[in-house]
Structure 1
Amino acid sequence: MTRTVDLNADMGESFGPWVMGNDAALLDVVTSANIACGLHAGDWDTMAETMKRAVANGVGLGAHPGFPDLQGFGRRRMHMPAASLANLVRYQVAAAEGMARAAGGTLRHLKLHGAMANMASEDEAMARACYEAALSVAPDLIVMVLAGTAQEKAARALGCPIAHEIFADRAYNDDATLVDRSQPGAVIHDPDLAGQRMVEMIREGAIITASDTRIETRIDTICLHGDTAEAVDIARTVRQTLKDSGITLRRFHDTPG
């Protein structure tokens, strides 16, 4: 059984006076932060403040690039030429890297957002284009992948460091992709259920799907979303449930030696 695991959350998604989530509270819970880069959500001031808070809390910094879709929060699928997609990712990773450095930190990882991530979980070529673009800007990045999907295949083919991610508050299809948010039961709102299912998945070393199928996988990190009403309650409950089960919380790839 995995005895250590990272907790990550998407954040930095506020825009000007419009507040999204409670980043300050989440930064007391998580060990890694995926910070929006200003296109699907966030802005330069929000990025700077979130990076600063994360560094102060000892939380690992990650770039969270998405489609240029503020109105749709990056959850609407977009199709573009591979070269343009690559430049879109480079643009956002470069911004995140600069902001991290200015905040006194180091950009550690990459995690794709929303529709970009979902499409890449189904399309290995797309995932590879995104990851190659990110690594062309920041060669030492750890690529966070949806475990068991085309994202993982693409990252493995590139030979880059990988963090295998599962979701605390999302239901799974039998191919390890996430159930579409439009479907009943796609998002889990019960903090206790979220915590219990994470312990079960870690104990079994497997993703447990909506049909109760087991998909064996390495698990390095658990995603805790920051944009739902119960996000902080879920995050705190998952953290405590893991600790009560003897699981140590630590940034991925952050082990002695």
Structure 2
Amino acid sequence: MIILFFGDIVGEEATEYLLKRLQQLRDHHRVDLVIANAENCAPNGLGMTAWQAEALLANGVDVITGGNHSWDSPESVRALDNPFVLRPLNLAPGVPGHGSLILEVEDELVTVVNLADACSMKSVRAVQGKWTPAYAAWEAAERAGTVIVDYHGDHVLEKQIFARAVDGEAAAVLGTHTHEATLPLHVLPGGTALVTDVGMTGPTGGVQGFGYDIFVAGLRSTGNPFELGIPRPISGPIELGAVLLEVDGGKTLNMQRIS
């Protein structure tokens, strides 16, 4: 089985870019399953719009994952009603959306699990007091067949420890959230692929795909780069943050970057 995973899609231009290239990438690499983290794909980079989720799913993405921006707008929350749109699983009951999905791919079962660390979720009002530890949620989750984890988090250490803990149980632990691709690609002894951060699919020239002037002005004037708000995604050349996995029997045989 060939699985293609895209890191955080940032903004409208990156979404359009991916929509235009996705079928070509699927055909060229003979992809069986596409997963994309789309929590930043809205025009302002915060959440997603319903049309974007529908367009991605209609044009080659099979499962959409999320993170701390999954509840940033009413429209983004509505998108979570779609069974193929996930948000982090490790949250207490009452938070909109769901965090895992079992689907059939080429007569095989695949489970996609979306998790997040505490640091990435600490400022999300929708989940205040409702974050639960990722590993406990993993243990309680229903899983079948090949298991792919989107681990949305700030901490390299936590992602690597989690991957070691599930080595042989998950086919891959794929880090998202920081938007900055990490160089090493690991296949652990038990067959679990690990990359600390896949990197963004988004515009270059800014900071994490966003414009930087407002951040810099906030930092210089108040000492807090977020004091003046969050700028919109910058306009510029799109970089592709993605990894391609070759999986057999629930274990990864090979992983490579697609750029």
| TM-score > 0.5, shorter chain as reference | no
**Which TM-score band applies after superposition, normalised by the shorter structure?**
0.3 to 0.5
Q: Which has the higher contact order (CA 8 A, sep 6+)?
A: 1
* TM-score, length-scaled by structure 1: 0.43
* TM-score, length-scaled by structure 2: 0.42
